[in-house]
Structure 1
Amino acid sequence: MTIRLKTLLGAAAAIAMSSLAAHAETALKWAHVYETSEPFHTESVWAAQEIAKRTDGRYKIDVFPASQLGKEADLNQGLKLGTVDIIISGSSYAARDYKPIGVTYYPYIFRDASHLIAYTKSDIFKRLAKGYEDKTGNHIAAVTYYGTRHTTSNKPIEKCADLNGVKMRVPDVPAYLAMPRACGANTTPIAFAEVYLALQNGTVDAQENPLTTIEAKKFYEVQKNIVLTGHIVDHLNTLFSKKLWDSLSDADKKTFSEVAQEASERASKKIEAREKELVAEFKTKGINVTEVDKTDFEKNVQEKVKLEDFGYVKADWEAIRAVK
């Protein structure tokens, strides 16, 4: 082999290696606590595949559902440590690092899902999201409508006072406690994955979650009363770790953000559509579904539980309420 040919072959190999390096696959972990049947998972899988497609395979994202990488608190800790790259989690957990963003969980702050979505495009959202990012370095890329939270119980509930003395499972997050405590319930924090068993064995007599979660986790099998308290219009954030966000080029940041937002929009629409179907479906299963006067519950919350006690800012509450 001539020296010239060796040189040419060496140069070609170097170019090939360089090309491969430029297109090297970066493996990322995307985690959440939701079931594989839920839109939060199916749309995460879609987003992972879409990011791979739009970046020519430079990123391979594995999605870990149903608390496979830990409970929600663990996932948020993993985001800080860089052991997980993308998670889906509520602002209630973001509020552990930046309290003001948790005001979105104060009961009855949102009128409905449309109000929530309008908030995610508002100046007050941008300000709160920036406050969280400044504090943690993590980036809120998208917001998904999780569903409107209602109550399930062993006994019928028609008014706020009917919850007095009821043992009620509530997530270990301050704002979630507001409505139950205003109504006199004895709140008990139990991990999400353990709620079904706690209801089944009588550890607690009630819990609260959106209709879609009540269906997915089969809480209706062990609770025959669904009370449409509608106390929190809930949402989830798609969060990128500081480590991941800082590593992305501007072009990749745009791609990741766009895909996350498209996935959130797809999931939100599915949740809204499913909620509209579920009331009738639960009734056909023999579940007692009760409409209640929400103003009774809201009045008790505002009189007995001050948002300032949670570290929230009244001006933020007012700005969110004013969003059209």
Structure 2
Amino acid sequence: MEEIVVLKRVVTVLAAASAALMAATNVGMAQTKLKWAHVYETSEPFHTASVWAAQEIGKRTSGRYQIDVYPASQLGKETDINQGLSLGSVDIIISGSSFAAKSFPPIGVTYYPYTFRDADHLLAYTKSDIFKELTKGYEDKSGHHIVAVTYYGVRHTSSNRAIKTCADMKGLKMRVPDVPAYLAMPRACGANTAPIAFAEVYLALQNGTVEAQENPLTTIEAKKFYEVQKHIVLTGHIVDHLNTVVAGGLWKKLSDEDRKIFTDVAQEAAAKATREIKEKEAKLVDFFKQKGLTVTEIDKNEFRDTVIRTTRFESFDYRKSDWDRIQAIK
């Protein structure tokens, strides 16, 4: 009888020890803390989707990863966080291909004006062979891995000058990000571009330092640029997107199972944000009209033809053959 009691006690002690060991192991594994950074406001879908993804990765990996999201340039501007992937100061970012192009220029061809017809064309591209080739080229050069793509919106022009044709932009003082492909359309049409920092654009429009800028309608609304502009001109010159990028150092350490979890969650988050952006974008033309702005449709073919006539792909280190393949995607 005593032997049975002793045996039960031994079993109980071993079970408790095993449970304690498992708990300690889980706690230890939960110490893998990661930083996810971006430059967008906390109210924007890019942030809310990132927070969801960070929490979801934690759940699906049983707490082995704790990911903290740093929005609104808290860990630096877009150039800084892209460099941070290599420096080890960030582990995951969302950022445009225009910045990825600094490591591998051909991936930036998606920013050549009028490359994509609409959001659906962009999303079809992300499932294509040319997308796989360009993202592999970026990974080979940078070491970092693109796991998902989010639709950012169609870039349009806001201005205090009425614009109906490309020629109407001649001499226009216009803020444009200091990225070659963003500059292509305004410069082809004769605008005088200024690379004012994003955080200073509202004030620059307000005090007349510049009289125009370009961004998706959702950004024009979020940053309240409509308060200091009279016209929304639907130039639709770039169908923009953001990549979710995992630092090469982290990607190499992940098991195949964890790589799948990170990829699946990032793509689900991208799909969530994409849906929200498309829904919001569809309502904003009426919103701007209600705010008293004039919304103008333009002949995109005229703008597109002017860009193609005056702006060589090779000047950006893009390959026209890549652009042609993207154009052929249905």
How far the C-alpha of 1:13 sits from its partner, in A, is 5.1
Q: Which residue of 2 aligns with 1:104?
A: 110
Q: Which residue of 2 aligns with 1:20?
A: 24
TM-score normalised by length of structure 1: 0.95
Give the SS at the match of 2:237. strand
Q: Is residue 313 of structure 2 the alignment partner of residue 269 of structure 1? A: no
Which blocks of at least 5 consecutive residues in structure 1 are unaligned? none
Q: Which residue of 2 aligns with 1:30?
A: 36
How far the C-alpha of 1:22 sits from its partner, in A, is 4.7
Q: Is residue 39 of structure 2 the alignment partner of residue 72 of structure 1? A: no
Q: Which residue of 2 aligns with 1:95?
A: 101
Q: How many residues align?
A: 320
Contact 2:145 2:247 in 1 (8 A): yes
How far the C-alpha of 1:319 sits from its partner, in A, is 0.5
Which structure 2 residues correspond to residues 174-193 of structure 1 after superposition, within 5 A?
174-193=180-199
Give the SS at the match of 1:62. strand
RMSD: 1.8
How far the C-alpha of 1:148 sits from its partner, in A, is 0.2
Between structure 1 and structure 2, the one with the greater Rg is: 2
Q: Which residue of 2 aligns with 1:45?
A: 51
The one-letter code matched in structure 2 to 1:94 is: A
The one-letter code matched in structure 1 to 2:260 is: K
Structure 2: how far apart are the matches of 1:196 and 1:17?
56
Structure 1: how far apart are the matches of 2:80 and 2:47?
18
Q: Is residue 219 of structure 2 the alignment partner of residue 213 of structure 1? A: yes
Pick from 105, 120, 133: which aligns with 1:114?
120
Q: Is residue 248 of structure 2 the alignment partner of residue 242 of structure 1? A: yes
How far the C-alpha of 1:37 sits from its partner, in A, is 1.0
Q: Which residue of 2 aligns with 1:151?
A: 157
Structure 1: how far apart are the matches of 2:275 and 2:212?
28
Structure 1: how far apart are the matches of 2:236 and 2:295?
13
Pick from 22, 44, 65: which aligns with 1:59?
65
Q: Which residue of 1 aligns with 2:231?
A: 225
How far the C-alpha of 1:97 sits from its partner, in A, is 0.4
TM-score normalised by length of structure 2: 0.93
My pick for the range that moved more, 239-248 or 111-120, is 239-248
Contact 2:155 2:216 in 1 (8 A): yes
Structure 1: how far apart are the matches of 2:56 and 2:229?
39
Structure 2: how far apart are the matches of 1:224 and 1:247?
52
Q: Is residue 129 of structure 2 the alignment partner of residue 123 of structure 1? A: yes
The one-letter code matched in structure 1 to 2:228 is: V
Give the SS at the match of 2:244. strand
Q: Which residue of 2 aligns with 1:164?
A: 170
Contact 2:26 2:63 in 1 (8 A): no
The one-letter code matched in structure 1 to 2:275 is: K
The one-letter code matched in structure 1 to 2:103 is: D
How far the C-alpha of 1:16 sits from its partner, in A, is 2.9
Structure 2: how far apart are the matches of 1:14 and 1:269?
46
Which blocks of at least 5 consecutive residues in structure 2 are unaligned? 1-8
Contact 2:172 2:212 in 1 (8 A): yes
